[in-house]
Chain A
Amino acid sequence: MIKVDNLSKNYDDVKAVKSISFELQDGQVVGFLGANGAGKSTTLKIMTGYISPTSGNVYYGNRNIQDDTSDIQKDIGYLPELNPLYSEMRVHDYLKFISDIRGIPSSDFKNAFQKVVEECSLNAVAHRTIGNCSKGYKQRIGLAAAMIHDPKILILDEPVTGLDPNQIVEIRQLIKKLGKEKIVLMSSHILQEIQATVDRIIIINEGSIVADGSSESLLKDSAGGKVELSIDVSNASENDIKDMKATIPSIDIHSITKNDSYTNINIEYSNSNDPRADIFNYAVSKKWIILEMVATKQNLEDIFRNLTSNGKPS
Chain B
Amino acid sequence: MHNTLTIFKRELKSFFDSPMAYVFLVVFALLNGWFFTTTFFLYGQSDLRTLFNIVPLVYLFFIPGITMGLISREKGLGTIEIISTLPIDDRDIVVGKYLSAVALIAIALLTTSLHFITLSSFGNSIDYGAVFTGYLGLLLVGSVYASVGMFSSAVTDNQVISFIVGIAIIFVFWLFDKVLIFMPDLLAGTIQYLSVEYHLSNISRGVIDTRNLIYFGSVIGFFLFLTTRLVESRRWS
On A, residues with C-beta under 8 Å from B are 11, 45, 48-52, 70-71, 73-74, 76, 78, 80, 82, 84-89, 93, 97-98, 100-103, 145
Contacts and interface: CB of A to CB of B under 8 A. Distances in A.
A42 B78 CA distance: 14
Complex A-B, nearest 3 residue pairs according to Cβ-Cβ distance, in ascending order:
A84-B78, A52-B235, A73-B87
A93 B9 CA distance: 11
Task: State the main secondary structure of chain A at its contact with B.
Answer: loop
B14 A71 contact: no
B204 to A, nearest CB: 37
Contacts of B79: 84-86
Given A50-B234, A52-B236, A100-B6, A86 B87 contact: no
B81 to A, nearest CB: 5
Interface string B68-84: 00000000011101111
Contacts of A45: 81
A271 B40 CA distance: 94
A101 B85 contact: no
A101 B3 contact: yes
Chain B interface size range? 20 to 34
A49 B78 contact: no
B18 interface: yes
A145 B82 contact: yes
A51 B234 contact: yes
Contact of B87 (A11, A71, A80, A145): A71
Task: State the main secondary structure of chain B at its contact with A.
Answer: helix
Highest count of chain B CB atoms <10 Å: which of A52, A76, A84: A84
Highest count of chain B CB atoms <10 Å: which of A70, A85, A97, A145: A97
Given A82-B78, A86-B14, A102 B234 contact: no
Nearest to A86: B79
B178 interface: no
A80 B237 contact: no
B217 to A, nearest CB: 27
Nearest to A77: B85
A86 B70 CA distance: 12
A48 B17 CA distance: 30
B214 interface: no
Contacts of B7: 101
A50 B84 contact: yes
Given A51-B234, A51-B235, A78 B10 contact: no
Contact of B89 (A70, A80, A88): A70
B88 interface: yes
Contacts of B236: 51-52
Contacts of B17: 88-89
Interface in B123-142: none
B187 interface: no
Contacts of A80: 78, 81-82, 85
30 contacts: A45-B81, A49-B84, A49-B85, A50-B85, A51-B234, A51-B237, A52-B236, A71-B87, A73-B86, A76-B85, A78-B85, A80-B78, A80-B81, A80-B85, A82-B78, A84-B78, A84-B81, A85-B82, A86-B10, A88-B14, A89-B10, A93-B13, A97-B6, A98-B82, A98-B86, A101-B7, A101-B83, A101-B88, A103-B2, A103-B87
Contact of B88 (A70, A76, A82, A84): A70
A89 B87 contact: no
A78 B83 CA distance: 11
A39 B18 CA distance: 37
A48 B18 CA distance: 31
A88 B88 contact: no
Highest count of chain A CB atoms <10 Å: which of B10, B83, B237: B10
Contacts of A73: 85-87
A208 to B, nearest CB: 22
Interface string B200-231: 00000000000000000000000000000000
Nearest to A51: B235
Contacts of B14: 86, 88-89
Nearest to A129: B17
A101 B84 contact: no
B77 to A, nearest CB: 5
A267 B82 CA distance: 54
Given A97-B10, A101-B87, A101-B88, A50 B81 contact: yes
